[in-house]
Chain A
Amino acid sequence: MKKGSKRNLLAVLSVLIGVAIATYYADFGQKPPISAPAPSISLQNAPFEAAAAPDFTLKDMNGHERTLAEFRGKFVILNFWASWCAPCIKEFPHFLKIAREYPEKLVFLGVSSDFNDAAMGRFLDKMKAAHPAAMAQDNVVILPDPQQKITLDLFQTMRLPETILIDANGAMRDKIIGADWDYEDLLNKLESLGFSK
């Protein structure tokens, strides 16, 4: 083989090997794809980046102004519900149960979108009858939001029920959409987010 031909062949092979090595490292060192399917239920997922929950003020059933910030230091279950929403009614007792179990460490904030006070009152009376101890606790707070200023404008909640889990530092750690879960799922989820019994 002529000297020039050898040089050409060497150059071609060098380019091929170079491209192979470069792409090998590019392939295995690259960032994960951005096209992964969105989660269908958030119970299994950690938040992308835990953002701080925005503070808000609403009046409770007794007419007292309550803020989210006053519960800092405790885990907060921020539940958006309405008495006309069947899944909301299904999951409500689970929240009362967990609030009853951990009165010092956890707060249940139920923000209601009910426009009809009477309907909401009837539902809460039923809950009081079924879970009198839990409903009487300080860590169970019902906050009517008939104009949905907090529900829709602030937290962009349109598909009831939606529940945001906020840690003791005030960071929104996850969201539960719908009521397709039970008490154990909720407890496991809270524990996975750092909640200790």
Chain B
Amino acid sequence: MRILLLTLLCFFACTSGVRASSGYETFASLPVLHEGRLQPLESFARAQLYKLSSHTDLDGQAADAWLADVIFDPGGAADKAVFALDNEVLRERLGIEKPRGALYTLAELEPLLSETRSEIAALLAAEEQGNLSAAQTALLALHEKSVTYLKLMRSLSLILPLNVEVPDRYGVTKGDVTFLDLVRQETRAIDDLKSIVADKGDDPAQYSAQQRAIAALAFQLQQIRGGAAGNALFKIMPLSWQGGQQVEFLAPWELLLRGQGSPENAAYLKRWQAMASAYRAGDMNAFSDASTAAKNHVRQRLGAAYPALQFTLERIYDALQPYNWAVFLYAASLIFAALYALYVSNVWVILSRAALAGGALFHAGGIGLRMAILERPPVGTLYESVLFVALVCALIGLVLAFKRGGVAYNFAGAFAALGLLLVAPTIISGAETLGVLSAVLNTNFWLGTHVLCITIGYGVAVMTALFAHFALFTRAFPKLLAARPDFDKLITITYRISLAALLFTAVGTILGGIWADQSWGRFWGWDPKENGALLIVLWLLWLQHGRLSGHIKSVPFAAGMAFMNVILALAWFGVNLLGVGLHSYGFTEGLAWGLGLFCGAQSLLIIVLWGYIWRRERSRP
């Protein structure tokens, strides 16, 4: 018990240190439109930081504090280590000695980026034809990241102080001048520059000091404006001029360059300017006050359209990190179950079950929060399908554990849920951000019926395969554990669960056909995903009928059901690798190797176990 408490304390310590110092709370909750969804700034910051660094915080600095640094103090941002660079070829080409996994600054990457800028057009063309090496892919990604970072750095460049010399003739007397202060002099400066060039030519060496200052000012204003063109990443300004009930947000530069400015947005931008001034002065109280003023402004502006509840839930989701808790509790459940197998005692059963229940509670809470935030059923992306299948596994384990007793069900539920939760983020890049869906999936009715049904089927099928594995292990090594599950009972459980798997996968597949008929005009198109779903159904039917008719004995039945994992993995993830068909909406980068390894290892394990059982039982008198 002491060990458990100690571990729990360690976990609390690990998860609580990320929060930045006070003053950012309101700033973190300001609305940003990103990837089609209005979200708290904190979520936007996490998504951007993850994109650049593959982390959601930097050395204890929370993502919102990091973003504040980048947008309010872009001068220092170039020297902030934020870029992940894992490709060995590029690391070698860069020539900076850093341990693997270390982050790089924009300034450090700049020589490599400058050197390779001319290669980008050719690489993009090659990318369309799928002819890129890993290093080339990484190079393209690095350039894309650098553009994203520059866009963030320049997001508010129109309201931040500029380091420019303003000639007296323009009558700008205030200390810290911004682009918005100077833009009203832009036409005049350009006119003046034209006169100077007409008079003295285009060699600045011939100009007087004031003429050089005029030329520099005109050039810098053009540079700032040019650098801002197309910068539509940081969409914080609610649009004033639009129809219907929809709320559109634009980035500050985008707003002004598209002529969408308004008195309301002028006032809102001044709030942001106050935030910037306070932040740059290091006055966190003033920063917090300015953030509150900005938040009140935008809330009043949006009225009923302001998604206060979703924002609150999303911030809870970000702060709670429910899947971390679920992983920890599932792992604890697994350990307690393993301890029971070694040292039979009811204490371990109770602890294992409690931990599994706790894990499932956090897990379900996380999925529930996602549903409330995104206003859609639980499964809409490949990542969400993994989360949901993991929960189904945990719940099946929990229900069976309470209904039938014993610790094997705890173990199975915790093992499957933990494995899937651990695997999910590694196989799907950027998975933990709350993304929107591609159009074909954006139908809550079908997400709530077909997709939910088929993913429940996947979950039940995973548990079927897991119990089949247990059965094979039990048969192969009957005296290995102190707590010995009965082989025949495990086969019966496997069979019964497989019936539920068949029900859900078959109904889900038929519902999918009806959806396909409505969306694409045909019930069945021999699409790889459809074939995969059919394969699961046929595999289950074949084994169940074989067992019922007596053609398939218990051990081959268990081996076949254990192989269900391979069929499932191919149908679930493998079809996305083909890159064809109407279902290729998942992320598959880096998946092929993992999937191949999994299928190979699974097949080998089943063959070895089956072979071992066959040999041992054949040699018996």
Contacts and interface: CB of A to CB of B under 8 A. Distances in A.
Interface of A: 12, 16, 19-20, 22-24, 26-27, 30-39, 42, 44-49, 51, 53-54, 82, 84, 113, 115-116, 147-148, 151-159, 162, 172, 174-175, 177-178
A51 B443 contact: no
A158 B257 contact: yes
A48 B247 contact: yes
Contacts of A174: 241
Interface string B237-251: 001111111111010
Nearest to A148: B184
Given A16-B507, A47-B241, A158-B257, A38 B187 contact: no
B506 to A, nearest CB: 12
Contacts of B250: 38
Contacts of B38: 34
Contacts of B436: 35
A27 B448 CA distance: 10
Contacts of B510: none
Contact of B242 (A45, A51, A54, A82): A45
B511 to A, nearest CB: 9
B452 interface: yes
Contacts of B188: 115-116
15 contacts: A23-B447, A27-B448, A31-B375, A32-B245, A34-B33, A34-B248, A34-B305, A36-B248, A45-B242, A47-B240, A154-B266, A156-B262, A162-B261, A177-B258, A177-B260
B135 interface: no
Contacts of B621: none
Contacts, number: 146
Given A39-B241, A46-B243, A34 B448 contact: no
B179 to A, nearest CB: 10
Nearest to A146: B184
A51 B259 CA distance: 17
Nearest to A9: B503
A30 B266 CA distance: 32
B269 interface: yes
Contact of B263 (A45, A49, A154): A154
Nearest to A115: B188
Nearest to A150: B263
A48 B257 contact: no
Interface in B211-251: 239-248, 250
B183 interface: yes
A12 B497 CA distance: 13
A153 B158 CA distance: 13
Contact of A45 (B185, B241, B303, B453): B241
Contact of A156 (B244, B263, B444): B263
Contacts of A23: 377, 444-445, 447-449
Contact of B247 (A34, A54, A156): A34
Given A16-B507, A27-B443, A44-B243, 20 more contacts: A12-B503, A19-B377, A32-B244, A32-B246, A35-B436, A42-B242, A46-B244, A47-B243, A48-B247, A82-B187, A115-B185, A115-B187, A153-B266, A155-B261, A155-B263, A156-B269, A158-B183, A172-B240, A174-B241, A175-B241
Interface in B319-351: none
A48 B239 contact: yes
B37 interface: yes
Interface in B247-301: 247-248, 250, 255-266, 269
A6 B250 CA distance: 56
A51 B305 CA distance: 16
Contact of B264 (A12, A51, A113): A51
B180 interface: yes
Given A30-B444, A34-B37, A54 B241 contact: no
B594 interface: no
Contacts of B184: 113, 115, 147-148, 151-152
Contact of A42 (B241, B261, B444): B241
B123 to A, nearest CB: 29
Contacts of B445: 20, 23-24, 27
B503 A175 contact: no
B183 A152 contact: yes
A45 B243 contact: yes
A33 B249 CA distance: 13
A20 B37 CA distance: 25
A156 B265 contact: yes
A46 B447 CA distance: 34
A38 B247 CA distance: 9
Interface string B107-127: 000000000000000000000
A123 to B, nearest CB: 14
Interface in B169-200: 180, 183-185, 187-188, 191
Given A19-B452, A23-B447, A23-B449, A38 B260 contact: yes
B257 A159 contact: yes
Contacts of B37: 34-35
A46 B246 CA distance: 11
Contacts of B243: 39, 44-48
B256 A38 contact: no
The 5 closest A-B pairs by CB, nearest first: A156-B261, A23-B448, A35-B36, A177-B259, A159-B259
A84 B241 contact: no
A147 B188 CA distance: 11
Contacts of A22: 448
A33 B37 CA distance: 8
A22 B239 CA distance: 33
Contacts of A19: 377, 448-449, 452
Contacts of A153: 266
Nearest to B35: A35
Contacts of B183: 152, 158
Contacts of B257: 158-159
Contact of A16 (B242, B444, B449): B449
Contacts of A37: 248
B457 to A, nearest CB: 11
Nearest to B371: A26
Given A34-B38, A34-B247, A39 B242 contact: yes
A51 B240 contact: yes
Contact of B256 (A35, A115, A159): A159
A116 B190 CA distance: 13
A122 B191 CA distance: 17
